[in-house]
Amino acid sequence: MAAAPTAGASPASASLPPWPSRARPAPSSRPRRPGAPGRQGSRERAWERRYGLIKPQRTPKGHRLYAREDIERVEQILQWLNRGVPVSQVRELLDRPEASEAPPADASDWPGQRAQLLTAVEALDQARLETLYGQALSLYPVPVCITELWAPVVRELEERWGEKLGDALQRLSLEAFLRTRIGTRLLHANGLARGPVLLLAPLPDDPGTLWQLLAALAASDQGYRVQLLDAPLPFGELPLAVECFHAGSVLMAGSHAGRTDLVRRQLPRLAEQLEVPVALCGPVARIREADLADTRVAVLGDDLDQAMSRLQTLLPAA
């Protein structure tokens, strides 16, 4: 989700809206503010310089100016990317306006990136992780990056990891990498977002925080101000956390089934005590859906894109 416009900014000077109108006024005389660091701005630069997808006008100082037709083109680019089309194929589709169906995605694109990411994690190759992380987010919307790259890789890694020497090191190394990158992203995004505060915490006893970190990335992209707790908080202190952070909802994430008494008794009791919605996402939500069917806990599922859509019904973003 694009950052909220600065007060008083013209349409051309705000971050690009996701669904612009069809009118085509001339470009504003004021430069459009670039996207937040690591977010829309770098993606637009890659589309312009590497792929020639957009050609905004420039001010004498080099700032981009977007006319309405440029914003419409960005909308079309996002539509193709959200349908799984590799960015390298989008320009051809834009030049053929009669095309309405996406071509088969390049078989070497997402599977190839997933294979590279798995190899980088197993090799503890931080430089390669940095490249793959930055490259994907600079070219594709966050929901596509999570659905096509990060969530499948995390699932596969969690299936592989056990008690072998090096498994714990791989997990902790990847968690530390994502915590730093996503934490930096949240720092900038929270300062621009106008949505409600979402308190995001891992389930107690969950072996890791990877799903929580991905959920934080997805929620921030939707415009929520994410307050991320990277370690479990005792349920008895969550009401205090909600009050102190002025949270509009609590979202918990987990990768494993969790303790039966925790899911069946403690979590529903917490949802009864709090005055804000309590939601659950990640694999634990799919595993424990039946156990929580008759409770006030909102089970959002392990597809994080769908989970964010369901969260909107509980806590609409800005």
C-alpha–C-alpha distance, residues 63 and 60, integer Å: 8
pLDDT score of 51: 64
Q: Running along the chain, 318 residues long, what does each successive block of 10 average in pLDDT?
A: 42 39 38 42 68 74 75 76 71 64 53 92 94 89 93 94 92 96 95 94 89 96 94 93 96 91 94 96 94 95 94 87
pLDDT score of 30: 38
pTM check: above 0.85: no
